[in-house]
Each structure stands twice: as structure tokens, then as C-alpha cells.
Amino acid sequence: MAQPVDRRVFLRATALAAAAPLVASTVVGRAGAAPVVAAAGSALPPPAAWRVRPFALDQVALGNSVFAAKRDLMLDYARGYDVDRLLQVFRANAGLSTRGAVAPGGWEGLDGEANGNLRGHYTGHFLTMLSQAYAGSGDEVYADKIRYAVGALVEVREALRHEPVLRSVPGKFGTAVDNPRGSHQIFDLPPTVLAGSPAITISVWVKPEHDTMWARIFDFGNDVSRYMFLTVRSHLNRPRFAITPNGPGVEQVIDAAEPLPVGRWSHLAVTIEGTTGSLYVDGKRVGENRNMTHNPATLGALRNHWLGNSQFPADPAFAGAFDQVDIWSRALGADEIAALQHTPARGDLASYSFDETSGSTVADASGRGQHATFRRTWGRPSHPGFLAAYPETQFITLESATTSNYFVVWAPYYTAHKILRGLLDAYLNTGDERALDLADGLCDWMHSRLSKLPESTLQRMWGIFSSGEFGGIVEAICDLHAITGKAEHLALARLFDLDRLIDSCAAGADILEGLHANQHIPILTGMVRLHDETGEQRYLTAARKFWDMVVPTRMYSIGGTSTGEFWRAPGSIVGTFSETTAETCCAYNMLKLSRVLFFHEQDPKYMDYYERALYNQVLGSKQDRADAEKPLVTYFIGLLPGHVRDYTPKAGTTCCEGTGMESATKYQDSVYFAKADGSALYVNLYSASMLKWADKGVTVTQTTNYPVEQGSTISVRGSGRFDLHLRVPGWAGSDFRVEVNGERVPRAAVPGSYFTLSRTWRSGDTVRVSIPFRLRMERALDDPATQTLFYGPVNLVARDARRTFLEFGLFRNAGLSGDLLPSLTPVAGKPLHHVLDGVEFAPFFEGTEDPTHVYFHRREPRIVFGGRDAGVANPSRGDGTTFLDEVWAAAPFRGKGHLIQHVKATADAWVSAGLLTADDARKVVSTSQDATYAA
């Protein structure tokens, strides 16, 4: 839907990516609500509690960097992908034409894992990605795709609000009616259609669309104990007729000999008379039972008379077309059945020719008035705002569920969140009012369902693994509430409180062990937003304390968390290594939580974590190659030795591919924040970028090749007074240096803080930040000998196909600064690549399919200084700390003399402790004196 230029510009100017507002503007609230202030991306004004605020994606442009390269790969995928493929499951659910589109597959499709019970989630992610792509690039191709998708979803919701409408297709004789796969549409015949006749012939033409087992051509019965059906495919993979008055155990059956072809018209007929039943396919008898004791009359009066539906709820609805269904009160002869192949004949009990091209009624031509009704198996939605790619039954079933079974219910409110978030982002970045109306209706529908449930039911639902997962829905609902001002929306957000988690975290009680990680991380982000809307402190307190329960005690070196999607005990790192460690969604959601907590409290630990997870796991989760069909993003990062990253897990449409698409189109969202009163600018990340700070009339540009370059040059265009807060990474050394216009600022920087420059800035001012990298190791919390390497912010990983832990020593050439880099050899022409003992180390962020070792075993068997072997074994204490560990823990050293003094003092202490002989101590000290050290 085209918008006036000024409206579009206005909305885009206020758009913020990934649920993060800054610039406030007035948007009229929906449903008569008073005008409220809104900011795009999160649809809310910056909450008063936020001390700093982010910038919109279109205010921060990425420069040439590894970020821009990976973003461009995702933008190309977004530009070329056919949105009709994503809409296929929505249109099918509404009974609309799917326009020949093929769903993406994997989780996103009717054939997806667990019956495709998560379908629709990927479309929501895709809308968010498109919205961020449009905000960041201004390219109308993304906006056009958004508007097209939104328009299609409007049609879907409208279709769901009403009874399904017959959709005619070419038939065997004239027209037929299509029953699309995924539509859950059936034909409901009157209860008098069989007229109690003991003899019967049922003749039908069908064109199956799919080879699903147990889909019914017809099923007449009461329940799963009394029925008569004909299925396209039984467990034998061929048609079966069955009749029973008392359950499957006494079924009398007739089986066909061959499977029924898919995509081709076939004629089937069933006859029963006396003790003989026959099954015909394409005019030929293919099965017979001469011992029949059951017939329609012996079943008695039946409630349900369906074409395309089963008495067994778990069976699929028939997918395909029906033509010329006739029912006779006698058994037609073989010659009569054969004649039906060429000439239709009207049944005396019922006859349906399917000549209708509209409406929901199929006329009976038998003269008995047995007109059929076309309807959905699940009826109409409980509220007109309902929008999903599957029936409302998943939501209904969840309300009585007590255990997890994703084949029955797989996180319907999680899927609702993705759709809601995508619609909000679509509205805020294109100004399409239809997207807002869809989001508004979706929340109205959720409120109408959930507000009727007892508190105990809600707590039980949200506590069920997977089925009760609802993602970041609270955050999205709060964002919508900021636009609509509707009390029901704020009330709805509160209905998702998982009190056991919130109250435990607020009290500082760690109950995370055994919990599904990605089910719970976004709950806390939502709680922060709910605090912003309500002022209730327990929400914010819970989020803060929760963060500390994950970082660092459940965090891997790359910034990720969880193993097999679950948390284990705090401090268990090596003990949780597997091929399914560090689910990528968890890193995505921990970044969001860190970010929003920083808005409240400018503790540098949040941005230190942000840098770690963004520059390592999130960047490394995107493969470094183009693909038109898949986003190429990891699900898990295995931390066992020799792991090879899988960039197309489960056909490439999992939750992690969804969040991966979002991450790759908002890399710039946290580079800069502004203080709420505009008096300061935070530079959180060193990344080639340009900020247009409109409120100040200032443009700030970072020129850098970080993290290849060890620093950044920041230039200012425009003038104004504000503080510039430069993050000093926690890993930085004392040689972090800042120069303004070529002159060094004579002030020491404190690692894990912000270095502040207070001045009136003028055009042309330049700030040079130098952050010398050191190679350092990090020990696993539960096994100090299992370690990983960092060079500045970059996690270096060994590339080696061996499936056992590699062993390395690192102190052999350590520099006086404590830098371990001299022990490694740089690889010419490959920045950040080094070789140690013949094994190449490379940045984790490189998206390759090389087998990698993120962790290795540290082994320093002998005491060596500056490459000189003292001829002494490297002893260790009971806790595993070695002599060399204790020596180098005191680095940096002011000079060689300082190091030698420390070696002597340490040797004396180890001699006193009986861990080193006096003779060996002399050898060690002498070797340290003779050695040559790098700075």
C-alpha cells in the first residue's frame, strides 16, 4: 500500500531495528486511543527509565568490514527469495490458492518436522529481516516485498474469519472442487445420507495431492469405535476400506493391491451387499471380502458423514480434488462400475457433481436434498483477529496439555510472537497501516483467549517445555501497547508471567539447571520491557540477576550458552561439551537482553559480553558464501574437537536461521548509544560505520578495519558539546591509548570501563583509539587445563580434523607483557591467522566448513623461558596450577629484571612448599636470566 511521501519518510525516520527506539514521534493510537508517542522498531517512546537510547538502523551505516560482507550475503538472499513460498502455509490454512508455491521445507512447511507444527514462524523472521534491510539500505525492493506479504496476510485473515469457499478446478467431468493440503477443509454430509440402507455403493473420483497415510476419502461414523471409511493410503501404502461397530480390533477390511497415484484422477467404488464387499479402482475389482457381517445398517445411526475427514483426530485431512461422488442403496454390478469410468450416473441416496464455483454448499442431485456443506474441521476462529499458518486447535490443545509433545503442540505462542514481531517491524519501517491492524487484531485475539483462563492454567502452560514456549512475545506486546494505548494489550503482556522463573531470579535463586535455555532468555527481555511499561521493579531485578546466572558461569568462549538446548549446573563448561552446544538463538537473545539492560544501567560488562558474542558466535554462525535458497546460518556450534559447522540444519528454516537472518541485517544496532538527555555519545563497539546524530546535527564516522586493525579513527562533522564515552574492553591492557587531533590524552584507561572525552566538538575533530591486542588464553571454569585462545576480541580456533583434544604449550616465548603471541607464527597474507606446532589457528568468525577446535588441552611439560629449556619439569599444585602459570599470572612485567625477580620469588616459594628442588630452582632462575624476551 503506497503511502504519501511525507508519511513514509516520517515513519522511516523513527524506525529502530530489533525492538529499540530512540527518535520519538506522534502516531495516533488505534481503536480510539489517545495519540501516543511512538518510535519505530519497537513502537514505543524511549521509556523514562532508559538512561541511554539506541539509534535507528537508518542512522547508522556500516562501512567496509566483515560485518558488511556478511550482511550483503543476507541482503542478496532477502532480495531474491520468493515471498510466495513463505505465504504458502498461510494461504493453505485459509483455503486460498497457494499460487503453485512450494513452502521452504524443514520446519517451515506442511511436511516439516513434527507435522509442520511450527509453520509460520519463519515468515515472521523474514518480515523482520526485510524491515531491517529496508531501514538499513533504503532499497524499495525490500519494502515492496513487505507490502506484498502484508497484503497476502490480510487476505488470509479475512478468509479465516468466514466459512471456506468452494474453489473449482478442472474435474474428471466438468468442474471439481479442490481441497488444498493444509486447509483442513472437508465436506460435511447430512446424517440422513445413508438412509439406513444395508446395501451400499459409494462411488467417487479423487485426485490426491499428497501421499499422506490415513487421509480419508470418506468416513461415516460416531467416533473411533464405530465407523466406515475409505482411505487413500493405509499403513500398507494402498487404499483400504474398513467398517467396524466396535473399534479397530474388529474391523472388516478390503485392501487394494496397488498404491493410488498422486496428481492423477482415480475412480474408487465400494459395494456391500449381503456378506460380500468389494473395492474397485478405475473400474476394476481390486479387493473383495466375502465374510462381511457389518454394513451401514448394522452400524446404526451415525453422527458424522464426512468426505475428506477422519474420526481419528490425528489423521490428516484429505488433500486433493473431489468429483462426482454418488451413493446408491444397492451394490452396483461390475459392469455398472466399469461404465462409471466414462459416464456419470446419479446415486439414488446422494449425488454430488461439484459444479459449484462459489459459496460453501454442494448441491445433491439425487432429489433427496442431501446437500453437503464445505467447512473447516476446526470451524471458525474464536476471534476475528486470529492469524496463523495452522488451525487454532494448537492453541486450544495447549490449554489442557500437561506434558510436552511437539507432534501435537509445538510452541504456538512462539510462532505467534514471530508473526507479531514481523508485522510490527513491517508497519514501523514501511508505514503500512494494514500491518498494524493485523498486529492489533492478533493481540486482541490472544487476549480474548488467555484472559479467560485461570492463573493456574497459564502457569502450567508456560512451564511446559517447548509447547509452552512463547519467545519474546511480551516485548512485542509491550511495543504494540505503546502504539495502541489499549489497556487489554498491557493486560495481555502480564498474562505471560512465568512466576516461578521471575520470582526465583528476582530473589537471586538459580533454578536454571535443566531449563530450556532459549525458552527462558527472551522471557527476561520481555520482563525488562514490562518493567518499562508498569514500573514493577521485580521484573527488572529478575532480568539483572538472571543475566549474572548465565554470564560467565554458563557461557562458552564464543559467547554462546546451552547444551542440547538446555542449561546445566553453573560453572559446568567442559562437562557440557557436545555436538549440540551453544544454540545460536541463545546468543541472539542474550545480546538483546544485554542491550536492554545496558539502557538501564551502563555497566560495561554488558557491552563486553555483547562484543564477545557478536564478534564470535553471531558472526561465525553465518557462512561466508552466497545461497539463493537458504540463509546459511548454524543451529548449534559443537564444541567437541573437530566439529564442522552445519549451516543448513533441518533444511535451513529453524529458529536459528530465523534469528540469524535478523542478526545479519542489524549488526550496527549497538555500535552507538546516546544518553537520554543528548549530553553524551557511547561508542560501544569499534566497527567501520557512520552515525548521523540528527538531534545534534553531528555525523560521527569510524574508519577502521577492526578487528584486523587494533584500533579505530573517529571523526566528527558538525559541532556541539557532548561527552564521548569510548569503551575500554575488559580484555584491553594498560596500553589502551586515546589521541584527540593528534595529541595523546594523558590519562590512564581502565579496562572494563568507558574512557570519557568532554569537549565542544567541531567539524574535523579526530579521535584515534589504539587498542593493542595480546594473545591470551581463557581457562574453562570446571577444567583449567582446557583452554581457548583470544587475540583481542577474536576467539582463535584451531583448524584440525582430529576428534580428540589437541595439546599445546604457550609460555615458551611469552613476552614481558604476558602476550603469548610470540609462541605462534603469523600466516603471511592471512590476517589473524597463526600457526602453532603445525596447526593453523583462525578467527572463529570466519564462516567456513573447516573442522575446528574452540578449546584445547594446555600442556607445558617443561619450564621454558624465551625459547630456552631449563631442563626442569614444570611442576603443579594440587589445584592444577603449574609453576609457569603462577609466574606469568603476574604479567605484564616492567622489564626483564622485574620478571627475573618474580621468577626467583616464585621459585623460592615452590622450594619451600616442597614442589621444586633447590637445584632445579637455580636452573630455572638462570634460564630466565639468559633468555631474550619480546616486549
**Mean per-residue pLDDT for 620-631?**
97
Q: What is the pLDDT of residue 44?
A: 57
In this structure, are residues 541 and 600 in contact, taking their beta carbons and an 8 Å threshold?
no
* Domain containing residue 237: CATH number: 2.60.120.200
Q: What is the pLDDT of residue 901?
A: 97
Structure confidence by residue, pLDDT tens digits, 768-803? 999 999 999 999 999 999 999 999 999 999 999 999
Same domain, 496 and 419: yes
Q: What is the pLDDT of residue 359?
A: 93
pLDDT exceeds cutoff 60 at 136 = yes
Same domain, 644 and 688: no
Number of domains observed in the structure of the chain: 4
Same domain, 780 and 763: no
User: Residue 678 falls within a domain, yes or no?
Assistant: yes
Q: With bands split at pLDDT 50, 70 and 90, how would you rate the model's confidence at 404? A: very high
Same domain, 657 and 681: no
Same domain, 357 and 211: yes
Q: With bands split at pLDDT 50, 70 and 90, how would you rate the model's confidence at 31? A: very low
* Domain containing residue 681: CATH number: 2.60.40.1180
pLDDT exceeds cutoff 60 at 380 = yes
User: Residue 649 falls within a domain, yes or no?
Assistant: yes
User: Residue 161 falls within a domain, yes or no?
Assistant: no
Cα dihedral 330/335/341/342 (nearest 10): -110
Q: With bands split at pLDDT 50, 70 and 90, how would you rate the model's confidence at 11? A: very low
Average model confidence (pLDDT) for the chain? 94
**Mean per-residue pLDDT for 454-479?**
97
Q: With bands split at pLDDT 50, 70 and 90, how would you rate the model's confidence at 46? A: confident
846: cell is 570466519
Q: What is the pLDDT of residue 12?
A: 32
Q: What is the pLDDT of residue 18?
A: 34
Question: In 844-905, which ranges are E strands?
Answer: 852-853, 856-858, 862-865, 868-873
CA distances from 636 to 77, 311, 549, 564, 842 (A): 21, 40, 21, 8, 19
User: Residue 391 falls within a domain, yes or no?
Assistant: yes
Same domain, 844 and 897: yes
User: Residue 163 falls within a domain, yes or no?
Assistant: no
Residue 252 phi/psi, 5-degree rounding, is -105, 125
pTM reported for the whole predicted model = 0.93
Same domain, 646 and 733: no
Query: Which residues, other chains included, contact 743 with Cβ-Cβ below 8 Å and sequence gap of 6+?
Result: none
Structure confidence by residue, pLDDT tens digits, 717-730? 999 999 999 999 99
Residue 308 phi/psi, 5-degree rounding, is 95, 0
Q: What is the pLDDT of residue 1?
A: 33
In this structure, are residues 846 and 624 in contact, taking their beta carbons and an 8 Å threshold?
yes
**Mean per-residue pLDDT for 464-481?**
97
Same domain, 433 and 363: no
pLDDT exceeds cutoff 90 at 345 = yes
**Mean per-residue pLDDT for 739-758?**
97
User: Residue 162 falls within a domain, yes or no?
Assistant: no
* Domain containing residue 134: CATH number: 1.50.10
End-of-domain residue from the set 332, 356, 376:
376
**Mean per-residue pLDDT for 293-322?**
96
Same domain, 248 and 345: yes
User: Residue 935 falls within a domain, yes or no?
Assistant: no
Q: With bands split at pLDDT 50, 70 and 90, how would you rate the model's confidence at 16? A: very low
Same domain, 880 and 829: yes
The 10 Å Cβ neighbour count of residue 258 is 10
pLDDT exceeds cutoff 50 at 228 = yes
CA 187 to chain centre: 37
Share of the chain above pLDDT 70, in %: 95
Q: What residue numbers bound the domain in which 68 lies? A: 7-155+384-664
End-of-domain residue from the set 640, 664, 688:
664
Same domain, 814 and 682: no
User: Residue 260 falls within a domain, yes or no?
Assistant: yes
pLDDT exceeds cutoff 70 at 733 = yes
Q: What is the pLDDT of residue 45?
A: 73
Structure confidence by residue, pLDDT tens digits, 347-379? 999 999 999 989 999 999 999 999 999 999 999
End-of-domain residue from the set 745, 770, 795:
770
Structure confidence by residue, pLDDT tens digits, 49-99? 999 999 999 999 999 999 999 999 999 999 999 999 999 999 999 999 999
Structure confidence by residue, pLDDT tens digits, 844-890? 999 999 999 999 999 999 999 999 999 999 999 988 899 999 999 99
Give the DSSP H or E segment for 767.
strand 766-770
Structure confidence by residue, pLDDT tens digits, 332-343? 999 999 999 999
Same domain, 926 and 790: yes
**Mean per-residue pLDDT for 29-38?**
36
CA 623 to chain centre: 17
The 10 Å Cβ neighbour count of residue 484 is 24
